[in-house]
Amino acid sequence: MKIRLTDDFDVRRIAQSGQCFRWNMIDDDTCRIVYAGRCLYMRTPAQGKLPLRGTQAAQRADFDCVSSARTETPAQDTLTLELDCDEQEYAEIWAPYFDMDENYAAIRARIDRDSDAFLYEASEHQKGIRILRQEPWEALISFIISQNRNIPAIKNSIELLSRRAGERRTDRRGEEYYTFPTPEAVLALSDEELKDCRLGYRDVYVRRAAEQVVSGELDLEALKNADDETAMNTLTAMYGVGKKVASCMLLYGLHHLNAFPIDVWVKRILADYYPEGYPFEKYAPYNGVYQQYMFAYYRG
């Protein structure tokens, strides 16, 4: 099926944004997404753009060039997404996951170009990023695993964990994929099997989180309705979950768009570009969206 939209949506930038770890570009314009027990192929035909030719570097240069040229024209483009699912699956699974009810162009429009040149630049450069509505459990484990590691290493561990404890399924192209494991499936792993997932010292954190969810001590669905402070306190009380991971969980797992994870990169941004302090009040309740633009832009 095809989707036409005028709001921000850039598959590559979302795939590289560091909020999700199971989006993989399989060729120049097709992304393979594993989520909610399913696998989706999403293609974004390069319409109205220069044909992509030559080396990969040249292709990227073309893309950036076109993309920044587009920012000069206020007229809204219509973007087409080609998905290998039907309307029902799109409405039930993918549209909510992609947060299609939110208007990201409007959120970007709140940035004042003159008073905040850095954020404006970051948002233009990373235009197309959305904050996905991820399942809380997958987000929690993903960001526990993320601590003190770079993105390729995180993706590797999540894939290994899924292969160990997830369900093996076949996608609509006949390729195999593994669903993200349930807490029960994680608990069923032996210490050795869990160690084989290359989580390092974080494997204890993952096991304890699974125990808390299975026992009912931790109710992730209930956290969705909790206020920011309650959710933050509940999460940071967990073993291996500090302020950074809890903030990521709020933003990506519970969709509290005002949560503002501060990692090593954002710390540098705040020090370099906001020595007088960052205007959190001004950008509420979308601080997390702006953080995502700045993180992705600065990390390059």
Partner DNA sequence: AGGCAGGCTTTTA
Partner DNA sequence: TAAAAGCCTGCC
Footprint of DNA (CB under 7 A): 17-19, 146-153, 156, 195, 198, 200-202, 238-246, 248, 261, 263-266, 291-292, 295-296, 299
Q: How far apart are CA 179 and CA 138, in angstroms?
A: 10
Cβ-contact 253, 135 below 8 angstroms: yes
- Alpha carbon of 193 to those of 130, 153, 157, 185, 212: distances in Å? 35, 18, 12, 12, 20
CB of 83 to DNA, least distance (A): 24
Compute the distance between CA of residue 230 and CA of residue 104 in angstroms, rounded to an integer: 27
Please report how close the Cβ of residue 62 comes to DNA at its closest, in angstroms. 23
**H/E segment holding residue 60:** helix 56-72
Contact 130, 99 (CB under 8 A): yes
Q: Which is nearer to DNA, 166 or 288 (CB)?
A: 288
Tokens of 254: 């519970």
**Could you identify the residue written with the tokens 């519970």?**
254
Q: How far is the CB of 253 from DNA (least distance, A)?
A: 12
Q: Considering beta carbons, is residue 240 or 279 the nearer one to DNA?
A: 240
Closer to DNA by Cβ: residue 180 or 297: 297
Q: Least CB distance from residue 275 to DNA, whole Å?
A: 17
- By beta-carbon proximity to DNA, the closer residue of 213 and 246 is 246
Comparing CB distances to DNA, the nearer of 90 and 178 is 178
Around 221, how many Cα atoms within 13 Å sit in the side-chain half-sphere? Answer: 2
Report the alpha-carbon distance of residue 161 to residue 179 in Å, rounded: 10
Taking the complex as a whole, the smallest distance from the CB of residue 245 to DNA amounts, in Å, to 3
